[in-house]
C-alpha cells in the first residue's frame, strides 16, 4: 500500500504562484511515475503533469505548459508542482497520484494510488 499526502494549496491572486508538494509513504518501491491531476467542481478529473521515477522525463498538459513545473528530487518519494502565472481557471482540487508503470502516463486510469487532494483557489 502507498499513501500520498498533498500540501501547499491555498488562495492566491491571479498571476501569483503556489508550490504543491506530494509525500509518498508505505511501499514506495512501487512509486514509479508520479503525477498531478486536478478536478474542478462539476468537472471531470484532468491530467496536469507527470514525472518519471528518475525525474528525467516529464509530461505536461497543454494548460500547464510554460506555467507549471513538476519536479522530483533524489528522494524520489516527494514530488512538487510549481505553479506560476496562475489563472482563475486553475481553481480546482489538485491530486497527487502514483503509477506502477515506468512510462510517464497522462491517463488517470494508469495510476493506482491517489492522495486526498489539496484545494487551489485563484481569484481574479
Say if residues 91 and 122 touch (Cβ distance below 8 Å).
Answer: yes
Q: Which of 107, 112, 105 is nearest to 44 (CA)?
A: 107
3-class SS at 60?
A: strand
Angle at 56 between CA 53 and CA 58, to 5 degrees: 85
| Span 77-89, pLDDT tens digits | 899 999 999 999 9
- In this prediction, residue 31 carries a pLDDT of 75
- In this prediction, residue 7 carries a pLDDT of 97
- In this prediction, residue 77 carries a pLDDT of 86
- In this prediction, residue 103 carries a pLDDT of 86
| Span 32-73, pLDDT tens digits | 899 999 999 999 999 999 999 888 999 999 999 999 999 998
Amino acid at each position: 500500500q502507498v499513501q500520498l499526502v498533498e500540501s501547499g494549496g491555498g488562495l492566491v491572486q491571479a498571476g501569483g504562484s503556489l508550490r504543491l508538494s506530494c509525500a509518498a509513504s508505505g511501499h514506495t518501491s512501487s512509486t514509479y511515475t508520479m503525477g498531478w491531476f486536478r478536478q474542478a467542481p462539476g468537472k471531470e478529473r484532468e491530467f496536469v503533469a507527470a514525472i518519471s521515477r528518475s525525474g528525467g522525463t516529464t509530461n505536461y498538459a497543454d494548460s500547464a505548459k510554460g506555467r507549471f513545473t513538476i519536479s522530483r528530487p533524489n528522494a524520489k518519494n516527494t514530488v512538487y508542482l510549481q505553479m506560476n502565472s496562475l489563472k482563475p481557471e486553475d481553481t480546482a482540487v489538485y491530486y497527487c497520484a502514483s503509477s506502477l508503470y515506468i512510462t510517464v502516463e497522462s491517463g488517470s486510469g494508469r495510476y493506482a494510488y491517489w492522495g486526498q487532494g489539496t484545494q487551489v483557489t485563484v481569484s481574479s
